[in-house]
């Protein structure tokens, strides 16, 4: 049976684009792999960060809205994401944050691994988790889903997606369930938490918009449309996102899920060597490129 191998990408909402680039490239060392526009609002950037080749399991994307109001994570939302980081790099990245005057939480142990909690300029929870198997600091370790009732979400993830429920921990006001996808791909961990003091979430700056899971091919994605229907979840039609095809649905707790194809990938419209250096537009917007470039802010990418 087909199973989900892990996370394809995570998409969040930020404030001004330049502060976002400065943090994720300058402070966390991610590569800007694609500079394009929100396909539904071409007057706004859509920024993609990842490893040098833009591999699935490393991609973090943002819709930067300069005037967006602050959001707040709560039940029915993804509340945090984590990078898997070689232990030797954890201290270095902590010192980079400290030197820049950026907030970081006291380190903690979670399922036996050291966790460093950070906040990006818009307040989004970013975690660095020490992982001996991590080849670099670009790939995801996990994403945290905040649920009022974790059980229906856990059933979907285990029975439909093929995740294994491998443990449970209680820390403070959170009960945390850990689920792991089969295989050894990046981003194969999900944490599903229940808070004893549920907070209503508010979408906005500093919140995660959706979590995208991997389909290795368009044929596999088509299987997921049928599989989700059999579990009572009707997906959207397939949507061409230029670098992958996407389908969307809301899981039982309300988090927006996407299943995105690995192909064609981010090198479809520019060489790997120059990923992220030029503004790339889908064909329907090329005819108004001048107007789009006139309203988008110029971005400086830290070296």
Domain range list for the chain: 7-295
Q: How far, in Å, CA of 194 to CA of 177, rounded? A: 9
> Is-contact 152 130, C-beta < 8 A?
no
Give the position of tokens 């899981």: 251
> Is-contact 35 49, C-beta < 8 A?
no
Which pLDDT score, from 0 to 100, does residue 266 have?
Answer: 98
Tokens of 149: 């009732």
Q: The whole model's pTM is what?
A: 0.96
> CB-based contacts of 17: which residues, under 8 Å, 6+ apart?
45, 47, 62, 64, 66, 297, 299
Q: How far, in Å, CA of 271 to CA of 240, rounded? A: 20
Domain 7-295 fold is 2,3-Dihydroxybiphenyl 1,2-Dioxygenase; domain 1 (3.10.180)
Low-confidence ranges of the chain (pLDDT < 70): 1
């Amino acid at each position: 049976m087909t199973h989900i191998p892990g996370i394809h990408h995570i998409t969040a909402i930020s404030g001004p684009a330049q502060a976002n680039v400065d943090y994720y490239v300058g402070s966390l060392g991610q590569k800007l792999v694609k500079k394009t526009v929100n396909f539904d609002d071409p007057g706004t950037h859509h920024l993609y960060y990842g490893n040098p080749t833009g591999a699935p399991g490393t991609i973090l994307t943002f819709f930067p809205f300069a005037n967006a109001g602050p959001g707040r994570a709560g039940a029915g939302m993804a509340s945090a994401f984590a990078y898997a980081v070689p232990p030797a790099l954890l201290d270095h990245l902590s010192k980079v944050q400290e030197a820049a005057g950026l907030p970081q939480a006291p380190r903690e142990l979670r399922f036996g691994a050291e966790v460093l909690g950070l906040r990006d300029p818009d307040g989004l929870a970013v975690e660095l988790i020490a992982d001996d198997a991590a080849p670099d600091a670009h790939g995801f370790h996990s994403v945290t889903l905040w649920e009022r009732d974790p059980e229906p979400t856990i059933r979907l993830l285990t029975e439909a997606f093929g995740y294994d429920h491998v443990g449970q921990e209680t820390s403070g006001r959170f009960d945390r369930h850990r689920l792991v996808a089969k295989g050894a791909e990046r981003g194969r961990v999900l944490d599903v938490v229940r808070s004893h003091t549920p907070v209503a979430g508010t979408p906005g700056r500093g919140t995660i918009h959706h979590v995208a899971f991997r389909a290795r091919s368009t044929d596999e994605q088509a299987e997921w449309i049928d599989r989700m229907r059999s579990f009572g979840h009707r997906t959207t039609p397939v949507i061409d996102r230029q670098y992958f095809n996407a389908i969307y649905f809301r899981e039982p707790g309300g988090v927006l899920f996407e299943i995105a194809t690995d192909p064609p990938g981010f090198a479809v419209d520019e060489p790997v060597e120059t990923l992220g250096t030029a503004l790339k537009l889908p064909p329907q917007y090329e005819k108004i490129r001048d107007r789009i470039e006139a309203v988008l802010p110029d971005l400086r990418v830290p070296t």
